[in-house]
Structure 1
C-alpha cells in the first residue's frame, strides 16, 4: 500500500483483504463477520475472530506511518476505517468524472477530456490488485468497469476534437485486452477511418466479428454493423462535422449517475442480417408510422399464413424505425397460435416492470395494470411490437393511449376491427426475391451456375420463406450437392408437391428434408427438445435430455442452429447462448417425438428436466437465504449440473430466477400434468422466493394450484400441507385473511399429524402474522413462540430471525422498547450468520424504529443508513423509500428540518414514481409536520389536504383520522 509517496509493506494474505474491505466501505462500519467471510469465504477457522483482531492491530500501526489522517476504530458490530474521502483515489476519480460530465453539458469537450485523463491517471492497475477474496472480487470488478467506461468516454471526447491519430495506439492495446468490448472496437475503427486507414478499420471489424462468433456464437451489435457499412460507403457523417461523439459522451457520462426510477426498454429481437425483399411492404409501413395521423396512435397490422415471414418483417421495420422512438421499444410474443396464449395480465405485468415499476407496485387487477401502462406511455415516444395476435379483443388493452406511440402487430388474421390501422398482407416471395434469398445463403455464384434448377427449386417450395431458408441451409452445408440434385429429390416425392399447396403441410415436408440429413444423436436431441415446455432453451438442457456431458451436448444445439432448426435468442446469466424454436418447427419436433420415443422414455427424460430445474432453483434459494431456510423440500430425484457451470448461472441468484421464471413455472405445470407430484410441489414452493420478492402472485397461485391437484391425486399429505401453507402466505401478502386462515389451519393440522416439525413452524408463523394483523396480539405471540421453538429444533435460522423480528413488533406496539430491542439484537445476530441481507435490512429497519421511539436519534440514523445501503445494493426501490422515510423522521426529530424535508421529498418521489399513491400520502403527512415546524404552515396545510383527499378516496379510515388531526392542528396555527 502507498499514498503516492509513502509505501507500506503489507503482509500477504489476510492484511490486504481486510484493508481492502475497509477501504471499500470507508467511514462506514464493516462487521467482523463480513471481514471473516472476505478472508476465508465459507470455511473460517475457529480462531478467525482472533486473527482478524491481530490484522486490525497491525494495520493500525501501518496506517499511523501515513501522512494522511487514517485510523481504524472499533464500532459494533465490527470496525470502521475513518479518513477524509479526499485522500481516497477512488473518491477523487468519481468527483473528476462528475466534473467532466458538467463540462460536457457545457460543450467543453477539450477540458472534459483533460479532466478524465487526470482521473484515469489515479489508477495504478486493477482495483484491489493482488487481493485474493471471492467476496471482494465483484466489487473490484465494478470499480474496474467504471474505469474502463470513463476511458471509453474520454476517447469519445478526444475523437470529437480530432485526436484520432494519437488514439490509435492506445485503442489498439485496449481492444487487444478487451476483445468483446464493442464500444472500444468501434472507436478504433473510427480513429483508423479518420486517419485514412479504411482497410485496417474494416479488418478490425472482421477480427471482432470472428472473435464474437467463436466465443459466443453471436453477431456484432447493430451499432457496430452500421459503422462497418458506413465505412464501406464512405459516409461523410463519420467525419468531424458530426456532433455524435460528444452526444455519445454525454450519454455515457450520464450513465454514471444513480439508476433512474424509469427505464428505456430496448426489447426488440435481433434483426435478420440477410433480410431479403419486402421493399414495398417495408416502405409502406415506414411511411405510415412516420407520417400517418399525428393525432392518434399509428398501428400497422402485418397479416398472413404461418411461415410467411411476418415476424421477420415486423422486427426489421422496427429496427429501421428505432431511432424515431427515443423512449425505446416494447416487444411481446402473445403466442395465440399455441395451445396456451400469453395471459393479458402477464403481458401487462412484464411491460410495467420493463418501464421501471418494481414488482410490489404492479397492481393485481388487469384494469389497474392497463391504466398504469397507458399512464406511463402518455408522454413518451415508444414503439410497441406485438406478435402472433389472435384478434382485436386480445390486442386492444395493449394499445397505448398516446399519439406519440406506434404499434406493429403480426397476426394470422386481418384485424380490420382496429380503427385507423394500416393493414398489410404478407404473401409468399416472388421468384426474384426467392432467388435473392437463396443466393445470399449459398452464394450467388452457385445460383448463377444453375439458373434453371434454382428457378425450379423456388417453385417447388412455393416461395415460402421458411421453406426457402431450410433448403438453402442444407445446400450451404453440402457444397458438393448441385441444385439440380435437390430439385430431383423433391420431385421424387410427388405427395410433397400436393402438400405444398396446403398451408402448414408445406412446412412439415420442408422440415423433413433437414431432419433427414441429421445424424442420429442430433435428431434425437431435436425430438426431445419438443418435450420441454420452455420459452427460451438454455444451453444446458441438451445435456439433461441426453443425460450426458454439458459441453458436448451444447454442440448438438449449435448443429441445430447451423441446420436452421433452432435460433439463437440471446445469452444467459452464465454467458452461454439461449435458443428458441420457431412455433411450427416445435410442432414438427413433437410429431417426431411421439413417432419415435416410447412413453416410458419420455417420462424418464421429463423427470431429468424437472429435476434439473429443481436443483438449480433450490441452490438459488440457498444462496439467497444462506441455506435451506423457510422452505420444505421433497424426495424427488435431481439432475445436477457441474459446479462450475452452476456457479456461472447463479452469479446473481435472484436475477437467474427472474430470467427463467416462465420456464420454471412451465416445469411445475408440466410435472403436475404428468403425475410427478413430489417434484411438482417441491419446485413450486421453492419458487416462492422469487414470487414473493417480485410480487408475481399470478404465478404463485397458478403453480401451487397445479401442484396441489397433483399432490391430492397422489395422496401426498406432506406436499399438500406445504402447498396450502404457501398459498396461505400468498393470501396474507395480498391482504386476504379470510382466504388465508382455512388454508393455514389445514396445513398446520396435516403437519402435526405426520410429525413435520419444520412445516408446523412455518404454518404457525404465518397464522401468527394473520392474527397480529387482526389485532389478536396475545394469540399471535403464542403462535410465534410455537414457531420459534420449531425453527430452533430444525435449525432454520432465517425462520428464527423472522419470528424474533415479528415478536419485537408486538412489543413495540405495547411500548416495551427495551424488550423489543433485545429481541431484535438477537434476530440481527442470527440474520448476519445467514448472510441474508434482505432479512438483515428488515431487522435493522425495526431497530431503527426502536431507537427513534427512544429518541436515540444517532443510533436510529445509523440503522436506517445501513438499511438504505442494503436495499440500494439489492435494487429494492420500495425498500429505499421506507428507509428514506424513516431517515426523514429522524432528521426532523433532531431539528434538522431542511435535511428532513429533502429526505422526505426523496421518499415521496419514489412512491409517486411507482404509483404507490397511498404510501406517498403517508409520507406527505410527515412532510407537512416538518414544514410546519420550520414555519411554512401554508404549504404544510396544502400537502396535508392532498394526503387527506387520497385517504378518503381509498377509504383508509385510520389514516384519514390521523390526517384530520394533523390538519386541524395546522389550521389552528395558521
Structure 2
C-alpha cells in the first residue's frame, strides 16, 4: 500500500478541510469559522480543485451565475483576501496563490478528506487487481466512512451543488464496490441489513438491488430475493415506464432456476448465460498476464457509447428495421458476426436508419458498448482504416502510446479486444470494401452496421438493406412530426401534394417541413405554390444529386445575405463537426453577437446546419449533412471570389494558432517556435471557457486541427500550415497521438518545400526529430535534427538551434555517448540564452542523468532546484514531475532512501493527475529500486511488476528490458536462478538490438552470476 492510511483519519480532527458532508475547516485550536455565503463558495471551489488554477471568471459564475455585478471581480478578490487572513490566523497550513487569471489553493494531499477518499479508492482498486480482496474491501469501507453527509451540504451555489452530486456518485460507486467484494468473500449474511438500507435510500439503483437479491439468495431466502426484484420492477414501471435492466432480469431468472453460477465458489470460467458477470457474483480467478493478449486486460473495463443521436421523428422502413435487427441479433451457434450494409442514394436517410437500429439494440443485445465512426466516403478525403482502428482502440481503453503503428498490428489487437465482448460497430458512409475489411471483428458476439452509397457486394456474409423513398403515409407522418399533426389534418390535400412534389425523398421532406415549422402562419397550400414555381428543378429530385441541390436552393434563397455567406464559407471546414466560434472567424466578426453560436443558429433553424452536440468544454458543436456541404461548396465556387475564400481560410488558421498558443502557455508555460502567420483572436471570454482544460479541448478538436493543417498545406498557405503543425506537436506528444503528429508534419513539410520556406522546413524537421526519438528511431531522428540544425543556423534562429542541440544531446545520451551529449547540452544552453527559462529547465533535467552517472551530485542538486523553480513559476506540472523523478534518483545514488521515496511518490501523483502513462512507468521503476535498496523485496517486486506492465502496454521495449534486469536481480537474491536467467536473456536481446551498451553490460554481468549459480548447483 502506497496511499494514505485511512484507518488513522476517522474524525474531523484528522483533516484540515472537510467537504464530504458540511464544509468544515480545522486548525490547531479546533474548528475555524468560515463566513456563510460567498466565502464558503470560493473556498469550496478552491478545495475541489486544490493544486489547480481556478479562473476568476469561473468563481464569478459560481457566485452570481449569469448576472454578476460590475464589482464582481473586486468582491472575489476581497473574499480571497479575507479567507487568507482567516486561515493564517488559525495557523492552517494552506496557501492561496494569486496566479493569473485566478487562484490556486496549495494544501497537503492528506489535508482534504476528498483527496484521501479518492486515494483510498484507487489503492483499493490496486489491491483488488492483485487478488487481495479482503484488504480492498476493508479499505473501501474505511474510505466511504469518511463521509458525513452529502458533499458540500449547505453551500449556497447551484453550480457547486451539481459538481457535488457527481462526487456523491463516487461514494455510491465505492459502496457498490465494497459490497460486491464482500459478497465474493462470503459475507452475505452480514450484508443483508446494510444492502436493504441502501436499496431503500437508492430505490432506482439496480446494482444495490441486485446485491441485496444475491445476499438473500445465498442466505437461503429465495422468496424474499424475488420479492425485492418484483418491488423494483413495479417501482421502475411506475416511476419511469421502464423494465429492469438486463443484469437484474438475468439475476431473477438465475434465482428461479437455481443457476449454479450464483454459488459462492463456481468453476473458473463459468458465467451466467447472456452476460459476463451478475452484480455481486464472484469473479473467477484473474487470468495470468500472459493469458491476456498483448497485456491489455485493463483496457477491457472501457465501455464505449459512441452512437450519434437517434432521430425522434423517424418514420417508415419498419420491415427493413426488423430485417436488419434479425441479422444483427441472430444467435445461432454457426453464425458469423452479423453484418448489415445499408445502401441507397444521397439523402435517402441511411445514417438515420442506422442510428435507429443501433439504438434499439444497444442495451439489449450489445451491452458491452457501441463504436461509431463517420468514414467520409462521399468526400475526397475518406478516413483511413488505420486511423479508425486507432480511435476505436482508444475508446476501448488502450492508452495512446500503446497503439502500434501498422494497420495489421492494430487490427490484431482490435479483434482480440472484441473477441469475447458484445459490441456493435457502426461504420457510417463507407467508400468501399477496402475501408471496411480491417474494421470487422473476428468473433461471433459482435455486430457490424455499415452505411454506404456503394452496394459493397464484395463484402462476404453481409446482408444488404436497400432504402427507397418514403410512401405517402410515411411522408405525411414525417410532416406531422415536424410541423404538427393539426396542420397536416387541416390541409390534407395540400399535405399530400407536398409529399408527391418532393418525391418522398427524406432529406427534401425534412427541408420543406423545417421551413413550414419556422413559419407557423404559412398555409401548406402556399408552400405547394412555391414548389410549383420550381417545378423544373423539383422534377429532378428523383434523379440524383443535382435535384437535391435544387431543392436546397429553396432554403438557401430565403436566407439573409450574411447567413448565405457563412454557409458558403463553412464549407471550407473538413471536420465532421466544428466549434461555434469558427463562424466569427470565417466572417471576421468576433463581436457580432453576445455568443459565438448566434451566428450559426439561423442556419440551424432552417436545417442547413445541424447541432451535433455539446463537447467536454461545454461548447456547442455543429455539423453538415454531406449533401448540404456539397451544395455549400457549389455556392462558394459560384458566388465567392478567390480573395474572399483565402482570407477566410487564413483567419481560421490564425484562430487555431491563437488558441493553441494560449493552450501552450497554460499547460507548458511557454510558446514554441513561432512564425509570421497572423493570429485571429476569438472572443476572450469564450477562449477562457473552452481552454479551461486545455488537454481535454485538444482531444475534442484534434480531428479539426489535423484537417486544418492539411487544408492549409493543400491551399498553398504553407506559413500557417507549418506553424500550426509545429505548435500541435507538444500536445500530440503529451497525449500519445503520434499518428496525428506524423501526418500533419508530412503534409506541411510538402507545402514548405514546394514554396522554399526554409524556416518552416527547419521547424518541421526539428519536430519530426522529436517524434523519431519518441519512437526510438535513432537514425531517422539524427538525420532530421541535423538537417534542421543546419537550416536554423543559416537563418540565425537561435531558439530553434537550441532545441535541435538539446534533442541531439538526448539522442547521444540514448546511444551511451555521454561526453558528446554534454557538449550538445552546453551548446543548447548557449543557444537559449537567458530569455527562455522553460528551454533551460528542459536541458537541466536531461543532463542530470549523465551527471548522476558521473557522481557530480552537488551540481545535480543545484540544477534540479533551479529547474523545479522554473517549472513551478510557469505552472508546468509535467516539468515538476520530471524534476522530482530526477531528485528521487539523486537521493537514491546518495543512499538517502526515505528522501528518494518521498520525492518519487510526489512525482507519481503528478504524472497520474496529468494522465502521463509514460512518466508513471519510469517512476514506478525508480520506486522499485528504492524498495530493493531498503531490502523490502516484496514491495520492490510489486513496483517492478507494475512498471513492467506499463512499459509493455506502451510498447516501450527498452524500458521493459531495463525493468526485467531489476526483476532478475530480485530473483537471484531470492535464489531463483532459472527465472532470473529467462528475464536476462530477454533483456539482452533487446539491448543488443537497440545498441544499449551500458544496460547490456549490467545484464551480462548478472547472467554470469546465474551461470555460476547453476554450475555450483550441478556440483
Could you tell me how far apart the structure 1 residues matched to 2:774 and 2:203 are? 61
1:441 aligns with 2:468: no
Alignment check: 8 A CA contact 1:901 1:931 kept: no
5 Å-filtered alignment, 1:550-629, equals 550-551=593-594, 553-628=596-671
Paired residue secondary structure (2:303)? coil
Could you tell me how far apart the structure 1 residues matched to 2:731 and 2:764 are? 16
Deviations 1:339-358 (A, max 9, x none): 11112222121112222222
Could you tell me how far apart the structure 2 residues matched to 1:679 and 1:82 are? 44
Shift of 1:801: 0.9
Deviations 1:311-330 (A, max 9, x none): 11112111111122232111
Deviations 1:642-683 (A, max 9, x none): 222111101111221222112112222222333333322221
Shift of 1:192: 14
Could you tell me how far apart the structure 2 residues matched to 1:564 and 1:840 are? 49
5 Å-filtered alignment, 1:494-893, equals 494-548=535-589, 549=591, 550-551=593-594, 553-628=596-671, 631-793=672-834, 795-893=835-933
Match of 2:497 among 439, 453, 456: 456
Could you tell me how far apart the structure 2 residues matched to 1:249 and 1:4 are? 47
Paired residue secondary structure (2:543)? coil
Deviations 1:850-905 (A, max 9, x none): 32233221122112111210111011223222211211121111011122222222
Deviations 1:658-709 (A, max 9, x none): 2211211222222233333332222121111122223333333333343334
Match of 1:313 among 347, 353, 357: 353
Could you tell me how far apart the structure 2 residues matched to 1:293 and 1:954 are? 50
Could you tell me how far apart the structure 2 residues matched to 1:499 and 1:23 are? 64
Alignment check: 8 A CA contact 2:571 2:633 kept: yes
1:926 aligns with 2:953: no
Match of 1:904 among 944, 947, 953: 944
Could you tell me how far apart the structure 2 residues matched to 1:55 and 1:475 are? 62
Shift of 1:331: 0.9
Paired residue secondary structure (2:801)? helix
Shift of 1:560: 1.8
Alignment check: 8 A CA contact 1:268 1:329 kept: yes
Could you tell me how far apart the structure 1 residues matched to 2:430 and 2:962 are? 42
Q: Summarize the Cα distance change of 1:760–1:578 in structure 2 as closer, same or farther, 3 Å threshold.
A: same
Could you tell me how far apart the structure 2 residues matched to 1:904 and 1:428 are? 63
Match of 1:483 among 520, 524, 546: 524
Shift of 1:396: 0.7
Counterpart for residue 177 of structure 1: none
Shift of 1:578: 0.4
Counterpart for residue 47 of structure 1: none
Stretch of structure 1 that moved more, 370-379 or 682-691? 370-379
The TM-score with structure 1 as length reference comes to 0.78
Q: Summarize the Cα distance change of 1:554–1:384 in structure 2 as closer, same or farther, 3 Å threshold.
A: same
Paired residue secondary structure (1:291)? coil
Could you tell me how far apart the structure 2 residues matched to 1:562 and 1:838 are? 45
Counterpart for residue 175 of structure 1: none
Match of 1:288 among 316, 327, 346: 327
Stretch of structure 1 that moved more, 767-776 or 886-895? 767-776
Alignment check: 8 A CA contact 1:544 1:612 kept: yes
Q: Summarize the Cα distance change of 1:415–1:293 in structure 2 as closer, same or farther, 3 Å threshold.
A: farther
Q: Summarize the Cα distance change of 1:944–1:59 in structure 2 as closer, same or farther, 3 Å threshold.
A: farther
Shift of 1:586: 0.2
Shift of 1:803: 0.9
Deviations 1:339-386 (A, max 9, x none): 111122221211122222222222122222222222222232211111
* Unaligned residue ranges in structure 1 (runs of 5+): 44-50, 64-69, 72-77, 132-136, 168-189, 202-226
Counterpart for residue 204 of structure 1: none
Shift of 1:828: 2.3
Could you tell me how far apart the structure 2 residues matched to 1:166 and 1:419 are? 44
Could you tell me how far apart the structure 2 residues matched to 1:821 and 1:114 are? 42
Paired residue secondary structure (1:306)? coil
Alignment check: 8 A CA contact 1:798 1:839 kept: no
Deviations 1:603-642 (A, max 9, x none): 22222211111100111111111122xx111232212122
Alignment check: 8 A CA contact 2:117 2:143 kept: no
Deviations 1:708-762 (A, max 9, x none): 3444455543333222322333233333343333443333333333332222222
1:145 aligns with 2:166: yes
Alignment check: 8 A CA contact 2:44 2:152 kept: no
Match of 1:396 among 437, 460, 465: 437
5 Å-filtered alignment, 1:49-198, equals 58-60=89-91, 91=116, 120-122=147-149, 125=152, 145-147=166-168, 149-150=170-171, 161=199
Counterpart for residue 342 of structure 2: 302
Alignment check: 8 A CA contact 2:838 2:870 kept: yes
RMSD: 4.8
Could you tell me how far apart the structure 2 residues matched to 1:564 and 1:15 are? 46
Q: Summarize the Cα distance change of 1:130–1:689 in structure 2 as closer, same or farther, 3 Å threshold.
A: farther
Q: Summarize the Cα distance change of 1:757–1:15 in structure 2 as closer, same or farther, 3 Å threshold.
A: farther
Q: Summarize the Cα distance change of 1:130–1:879 in structure 2 as closer, same or farther, 3 Å threshold.
A: farther
Could you tell me how far apart the structure 1 residues matched to 2:168 and 2:798 are? 52
5 Å-filtered alignment, 1:948-963, equals none
Paired residue secondary structure (2:772)? helix
Paired residue secondary structure (2:507)? helix
Deviations 1:427-476 (A, max 9, x none): 22222222221221122222223333322322222211111111111122
Shift of 1:130: 10
Could you tell me how far apart the structure 2 residues matched to 1:287 and 1:884 are? 50
Counterpart for residue 471 of structure 1: 512
Q: Summarize the Cα distance change of 1:455–1:350 in structure 2 as closer, same or farther, 3 Å threshold.
A: same
Stretch of structure 1 that moved more, 614-623 or 710-719? 710-719
Alignment check: 8 A CA contact 1:721 1:747 kept: yes
Could you tell me how far apart the structure 2 residues matched to 1:890 and 1:450 are? 83
Alignment check: 8 A CA contact 1:164 1:195 kept: no
Could you tell me how far apart the structure 1 residues matched to 2:439 and 2:204 are? 51
Alignment check: 8 A CA contact 1:542 1:557 kept: yes
5 Å-filtered alignment, 1:408-423, equals 408-423=449-464
Paired residue secondary structure (1:501)? helix
Paired residue secondary structure (1:687)? helix
Match of 1:272 among 307, 311, 319: 311
Counterpart for residue 332 of structure 1: 373
Could you tell me how far apart the structure 2 residues matched to 1:542 and 1:23 are? 37
Could you tell me how far apart the structure 2 residues matched to 1:858 and 1:800 are? 29
Alignment check: 8 A CA contact 1:153 1:249 kept: no
Could you tell me how far apart the structure 2 residues matched to 1:597 and 1:607 are? 15
Could you tell me how far apart the structure 2 residues matched to 1:269 and 1:57 are? 52
Alignment check: 8 A CA contact 1:359 1:693 kept: no
Paired residue secondary structure (1:285)? helix
Deviations 1:215-246 (A, max 9, x none): xxxxxxxxxxxx4xx27xxx6999x99989xx
* Unaligned residue ranges in structure 2 (runs of 5+): 1-23, 60-72, 75-81, 96-103, 177-193, 206-229, 253-274, 284-296, 1015-1019
Paired residue secondary structure (1:500)? helix
